[in-house]
Amino acid sequence: MQIESIAPFLAMAVSLAGAALIVATRKHPNLREGCSLGAAALQFLIVLTMIPPVLAGATLHYTVLSFLPQVSIAFRVDALGLLFAITASFLWILTTIYSIGYMRHLREHAQTRYYAFVALALSATMGIAFSANLMTLYIFYELLTFMTYPLVTHNESEEAFAVGRKYILYQLGTSIVFLLPAIIVTYTLSSTFDFRPNGIFPAGANATVLVVVYFLFLAGIAKAAIMPFHAWLPAAMVAPTPVSALLHAVAVVNAGVFSILRVILDVFGEELMQQLNLGVATAFVVSFTILMASFYALRLDSLKAVLAYSTISQLSYIILGVVLFSPTGMTGGIIHIANHAFSKITLFFCAGSIDLASGKTKISEMRGIGRQMPWTMAAFLIGAFSIVGIPPTAGFITKWFLAVGSIEAEKLPVFFVLLISTLLSAGYYLRIIGTGFFGLPAEEKVYHEAGGYAEGGHHQEGRPIREVSRFVVVPLLVSAAISVVLGIYPHFVIELVRLVLR
């Protein structure tokens, strides 16, 4: 059942209006940040209004502009897009609150620009989530690149601009060289840009051409960070932590894997994917990414770099689950859109909190930080357990469905990839947890060895290390709590996934 509704357009437009209000109130920081928070809350509420009709089996449609027959900017809200939109819009609220504490503590420059471009990036994200066709998806996909470039280069240092050039090269370069030709050839073969649940290619289309087109899509959607098109993501960690948290653990990377899921499910379709053995080929590529990224993370000392490579690995879980083409495996892949987002944003929030309080960014420097920042490290523990897949966190639900799905699909190599990657992720997260909770701070260790007592917990400037601000601590505790809630009560997300797979 199709319902005409302006709701998806409003969800996209409210953050555009929010960006304008942020700029208009730039001389009044409290009002400016209030506009950012208000726009985020309103966008989330609009997205929530779409839940009842989608759960009832309907899709919402809205055409913004038609250029030619078959060429339009149009929105369609289904269960898959709704899951992505709910996740991104809610986490914008948390990130805005976190940003207030983070940016004010550091007295960051260009805060108006920062809040405005975050809002614009969320508009592009909503456009991707609710795209009804490849043309709309491509337009908003490219807009997301341009809206996030000023955030990646926020520090305006030589390193930041070098990373910005790399970011543009990967994102814009791959989309123009690979993604755009894939879309053009797809239209030539199918005579449509529209997404359709069972795919759009006619029977009898040349199999070789279809395989080439599929891999053009994979290479062209670099935001999914599939190797070898992943290097932009660790480099982009030069951005402020709130940017890393929302855009490079949620919005940008989720936009990438979401776009690939659209291609798999609504451009090619399950039947054609299996007929051409594209599921097996994709599983090989993303399994390689999962394992290699996990091995990279094991050897790194920078906390944000470990989280970046962990993100690269976890994103491929989403794609891997879907290309198993067993209902259980596909469920595990799709629910990881939300499960990974809440878990990983918690970890990035914690990394930023530690940096603000202590100036420490390397794991080896964080000895005993758990005793000095108990709330932050408790949240980090939950986020890490979720990524590893320890119950009762959200990540356990993902791993359970993926493992059972791999057995159902009779793909035991995938099961062993899941097992090995879980052990590797446990290795690099337990190293952080062990250092943070059981190591002695450098100052305390000196006194301890001398047979005396010292409170420790002072960094090189002599200030005590402690939780920075409620604006920083509350969002990371909320996201950590939701990671547990999604592990105990996954029913709503699973219901959305059921609608995707029906």
Six-digit token string for 61: 């449609």
Q: Give percent of the chain above pLDDT 90.
A: 80
What is the residue whose two structure tokens read 């795209």?
Answer: 131
- What are the φ/ψ torsions at residue 384 (nearest 5 degrees)? -65, -45
Confidence of residue 448 (pLDDT cuts 50, 70, 90): very low
Question: Residue 358: which of 455, 462, 428 has the closest Cα?
Answer: 462
Neighbour count for residue 33 (Cβ, 10 Å): 22
pLDDT of 188 higher than 80: yes
pLDDT of 449 higher than 90: no
**Predicted local distance difference test score (pLDDT) of residue 443:** 54
Confidence of residue 176 (pLDDT cuts 50, 70, 90): very high
- Give the integer Cα–Cα distance in Å for 306 and 328: 29
Query: What's the whole-number average pLDDT of the chain?
Result: 91
**Predicted local distance difference test score (pLDDT) of residue 245:** 87
Q: What is the mean pLDDT of residues 60-89?
A: 91
Lowest mean pLDDT among 221-225, 235-239, 252-256, 317-321: 235-239
What tens digit of pLDDT does each residue of 390-421 get?
A: 999 999 999 999 999 999 999 999 999 999 99
Q: From the centroid of its chain, how far is CA 170?
A: 17
Q: What is the mean pLDDT of residues 422-426?
A: 95
**Predicted local distance difference test score (pLDDT) of residue 458:** 34
Question: Residue 252: which of 287, 225, 290, 283 has the closest Cα?
Answer: 225
**Predicted local distance difference test score (pLDDT) of residue 423:** 96
What is the residue whose two structure tokens read 């799709």?
Answer: 334
pTM: 0.93
pLDDT of 454 higher than 90: no
User: Three-state SS across 328-381?
Assistant: HHHHHHHHHHHHHHHHHHHHHHHHHHHHHHHCCCEHHHCCCHHHHCHHHHHHHH
**SS3 state of residue 190:** helix
440: Cβ contacts below 8 Å, ≥ 6 apart: 367, 368, 448, 456
**Predicted local distance difference test score (pLDDT) of residue 310:** 94
Neighbour count for residue 417 (Cβ, 10 Å): 24
**Predicted local distance difference test score (pLDDT) of residue 291:** 96
- Give the integer Cα–Cα distance in Å for 291 and 337: 19
Beta strand pairing call for 71-77 and 59-68: antiparallel
pLDDT of 460 higher than 60: no
Burial of 107 from C-beta contacts in 10 A (0-12 / 13-18 / 19+): exposed
**Predicted local distance difference test score (pLDDT) of residue 441:** 66
89: Cβ contacts below 8 Å, ≥ 6 apart: 11, 40, 43, 44, 47, 122, 126
Please, what is the end-to-end C-alpha distance for the chain in angstroms? 14
What tens digit of pLDDT does each residue of 248-293 get?
A: 778 899 999 999 999 999 999 999 999 999 999 999 999 999 999 9
Q: What is the mean pLDDT of residues 194-205?
A: 90
Beta strand pairing call for 2-4 and 71-77: unpaired
Question: Residue 442: which of 388, 368, 341, 344 has the closest Cα?
Answer: 368
Q: What is the mean pLDDT of residues 240-247?
A: 85
Lowest mean pLDDT among 195-209, 238-252, 306-320: 238-252
